[in-house]
Amino acid sequence: MATAMLRDDDGYSFRDLNKNGRLDPYEDARRPVEERVENLLLQMTLEEKAGAIFHTMTGVGGGGADDSSVNGGPSVTEMIETRLMNHFNVFGGAAPRVMAEWSNFLQALAEGTRLGIPITLSTDPRHSFSNNPATNFKAEGYSTWPESLGLAATDDLELVQSFADCARQEYLAVGIRVALHPMIDLATEPRWARANGTFGEDAALASRMVAAYIRGFQGESLGPHSVACMTKHFPGGGPQMDGEDAHFAYGREQVYPGDNFEYHLIPFEAAFEAGTAQIMPYYGMPVGLPLEEVGFGFHKEVITGMLRGRFGFDGVVCTDWGLLTDKEIGGTVMVARAWGVEHLSVEERTAKAIEAGVDQFGGEACPDVVVALVQAGVVSAARLDESLRRLLRDKFRLGLFDDPYLDLDASERIVGSEAFLLAGVEAQRRSIVLLKNGDAPGGKALPLGTELSIYVENVSAEAAAAYGRVVSSIEDADVAILRLATPYEPRVTDFLESFFHAGDLSFPEEELSRILGILARVPTVVDIYLERAAVNPEIAAQSAAFLASFGSSDEALLDVIFGRHSPSGKLPFELPSSMEAVREQKEDLPYDSESPLFPFGHGLAY
């Protein structure tokens, strides 16, 4: 069995030679992890240490070919062999066997370096329906589950842990060992474009979810069969001013007009209790608090004082992606999210983040900067070693030094297995929320009967044909079924911004009139995909039945509409009654809009 090997300065494997009394961690793998870490740390050069504290994106090379750079960046071969990096965020994907082959290719490259330190691969969520290259995406071959909001809508801890366990096995099969999730920010500001990745606005619900989630990925403790969780975004990224996102300069402010900072820490306490291995601070910078107004990745009071001191967290702290350098993405220059320290040089930003307590830089590949800072005495070698101990400890605990290579046949057998696919579909059904079912007592619209003529929009006609006769004209229909999505304000000033659905939550007048025209002509069942808390009182009032979904196939939705599955989901956030109510509420307070159309926790059944 091939394994990565430590090598001494002469190039000998420690399996062959043990010189100068050095402990060989391969010949005595049962020794404590901390001892193995110290042994390896003694062998590392400054350049090797600097490479290990960078964690950037790489594409997936096909068939072992080195074509895996991202946006014109350095190739993965250069990053491993020259920049001495060994942590990578998998950007995009490929068929499971191709990903497993590529993972083995990377590990072989790493084994050929002086110390043979294995690669740690990470990923954003890849099991749901959304597709934002900066946050999450639907990847080829994996089982498909609801978004995190949908998991929260089930409020079923066994289901959430089951999801995480399935995802863990699929990740392991392709070599992914760090999940850049869960995202446990609280969606207390309904306009926020990233509400979709959260468990909603309620701290107690999010706390229950994150504990089950981490147990499913990591187990009771981090080990060879775990995927480490990088829980984000400390200390809670939900209360963004006016709901604008901190990926962009206009959304950098994080505000607490309701004096509710502590509320957003509650889910993190549950994550610490569950043993999350790693933590990611957010881009946002606190405004109006007795804290330095700099992004949380540069914030010593928050990282060292609060995260390390108050909560006693001693795991890896990795910044969110792109705090140090500007990058060209999709033909647009994305400035570094160095909020509050924009005036500092790359070197000064790097030093400030390290001083704040950061162990690793996400989305960056400039270890030469750290080398220069240590050589100049700006960053001490001892401080760098603190971070290396945490990073190496996780590699050892995950078993990467013992055997990082994958069974290609197993990757095809495990990823997207029938059992995982069926479990995902069942979770999709259970996440759907029935908001309204007819108007008068006893006048329920759902479940629909059989042998109906059905008009559909944004629903597969082929899927609907299994439940009734699909017609192309509203006039010929007994019932209409519409699938809608939460409205947003299109923004296309750059490549990345177009993927963040922000701004107004209500339908434009022209589209609203068209939808209401359908509702006036035929009894209509409306489902709305809630990636944020849509404002739609007119549609709710005039629909025959109104449902909310958080990532579900047409088949899963139709099973609920036609009674093959009884709805059981509950809203993980309230639905406001108007945009005026949204604008009047405070960004940091949950369930804070006046006279909500549907309150948090609402959900009917039949």
What residue segments make up the domains of the chain, in order of their start? 140-414, 432-584
C-alpha neighbours within 13 Å on the C-beta side of residue 442? 0
Residues 6+ apart with CB under 8 A from 82: none
Where b means 16+ CB within 10 Å and e means fewer, 192-217 reads bbbbbbbbbbbbebbbbbbbbbbbbb
What pLDDT digit, counting tens, does each position of 291-300 carry?
Answer: 999 999 999 9
Confidence of residue 2 (pLDDT cuts 50, 70, 90): very low
* Predicted pLDDT of residue 497: 82
Model confidence at 572: pLDDT above 80? yes
Compute the distance between CA of residue 431 and CA of residue 258 in angstroms, rounded to an integer: 31
Confidence of residue 180 (pLDDT cuts 50, 70, 90): very high
> Taking the model in full, what pTM does it have?
0.93
Confidence of residue 256 (pLDDT cuts 50, 70, 90): very high
Model confidence at 134: pLDDT above 70? no
Nearest to 48 by CA among 105, 106, 7: 7
Q: Which CATH superfamily is domain 140-414 in?
A: Glycoside hydrolase, family 3, N-terminal domain (3.20.20.300)
* Predicted pLDDT of residue 24: 52
State the Cα angle at 274 between 25 and 312, rounded to 5°: 75
Confidence of residue 469 (pLDDT cuts 50, 70, 90): very high
Least confident of 193-207, 327-341, 530-544: 327-341
**Partners of 136 in beta bridges:** 132
Compute the distance between CA of residue 580 and CA of residue 63 in angstroms, rounded to an integer: 54
Confidence of residue 21 (pLDDT cuts 50, 70, 90): very low
* Predicted pLDDT of residue 63: 47
**Alpha carbon separation from 365 to 58, 69, 376 (Å, rounded):** 11, 12, 20
Model confidence at 477: pLDDT above 80? yes
* Predicted pLDDT of residue 3: 35
Confidence of residue 4 (pLDDT cuts 50, 70, 90): very low
* Predicted pLDDT of residue 15: 32
Compute the distance between CA of residue 581 and CA of residue 576 in angstroms, rounded to an integer: 7
Q: Is 566 exposed, middle or buried (0-12, 13-18, 19+ CB in 10 A)?
A: middle
Compute the distance between CA of residue 307 and CA of residue 304 in angstroms, rounded to an integer: 6
> In the block, which residue shows the tokens 């990377």?
106
What pLDDT digit, counting tens, does each position of 67-94 carry?
Answer: 455 556 788 999 999 999 999 999 877 8
* Predicted pLDDT of residue 327: 86
Which residue in 320, 394, 527, 592 is the catalytic one? 320
Model confidence at 232: pLDDT above 90? yes
Compute the distance between CA of residue 542 and CA of residue 539 in angstroms, rounded to an integer: 5
* Predicted pLDDT of residue 499: 82
Model confidence at 309: pLDDT above 50? yes
140-414 shares its CATH topology with 432-584: no
How much is the average pLDDT of 481-485?
98
* Predicted pLDDT of residue 74: 84
Answer yes or no: 320 catalytic: yes
User: Phi and psi dihedrals of 477, rounded to 5?
Assistant: -95, 145
> In the block, which residue shows the tokens 């010593």?
300
What are 278's two structure tokens? 């790693």
How much is the average pLDDT of 297-315?
98
What pLDDT digit, counting tens, does each position of 501-523 carry?
Answer: 999 999 999 999 999 999 999 99
* Predicted pLDDT of residue 107: 96
Strand order of the β-sheet with 433-437 is 433-437, 545-549, 524-529, 479-485, 453-457, 469-470
In three-state secondary structure terms, 317 is strand
Confidence of residue 325 (pLDDT cuts 50, 70, 90): very high
What are 451's two structure tokens? 């042998």
Query: What DSSP character marks residue 277?
Result: S
User: Phi and psi dihedrals of 499, rounded to 5?
Assistant: -90, -10
* Predicted pLDDT of residue 492: 74
SS3 letters for 137-206? CCCCCCCCCCCHHHHHHHCCHHHHHHHHHHHHHHHHHHCEEEECCCECCCCCCCCCCCHHHCCCCCHHHH
Model confidence at 400: pLDDT above 50? yes
Confidence of residue 5 (pLDDT cuts 50, 70, 90): very low
Confidence of residue 387 (pLDDT cuts 50, 70, 90): very high
The answer as to CATH 3.40.47.10 being correct for domain 432-584 is no
How much is the average pLDDT of 238-255?
96
* Predicted pLDDT of residue 20: 32
How confident is the prediction for the chain on average, in pLDDT? 91
* Predicted pLDDT of residue 69: 58
Amino acid, single-letter form, for residue 139: A
What pLDDT digit, counting tens, does each position of 518-527 carry?
Answer: 999 999 999 9
Neighbours of 124 (CB within 10 A): 20
Compute the distance between CA of residue 410 and CA of residue 420 in angstroms, rounded to an integer: 14
Compute the distance between CA of residue 450 and CA of residue 563 in angstroms, rounded to an integer: 10
What pLDDT digit, counting tens, does each position of 57-67 carry?
Answer: 998 875 444 54
Is there a contact between 181 and 124 (Cβ–Cβ < 8 Å)? yes
Is there a contact between 448 and 565 (Cβ–Cβ < 8 Å)? no
Helices 381-397, 33-43: axis angle to 10 degrees equals: 130
C-alpha neighbours within 13 Å on the C-beta side of residue 461? 7
Q: Is 261 exposed, middle or buried (0-12, 13-18, 19+ CB in 10 A)?
A: middle
> In the block, which residue shows the tokens 């801890």?
157
Higher-scoring residue by pLDDT: 255, 21 = 255
R_g (Cα) of the chain, nearest Å: 25
pLDDT-above-90 percentage for the chain: 84
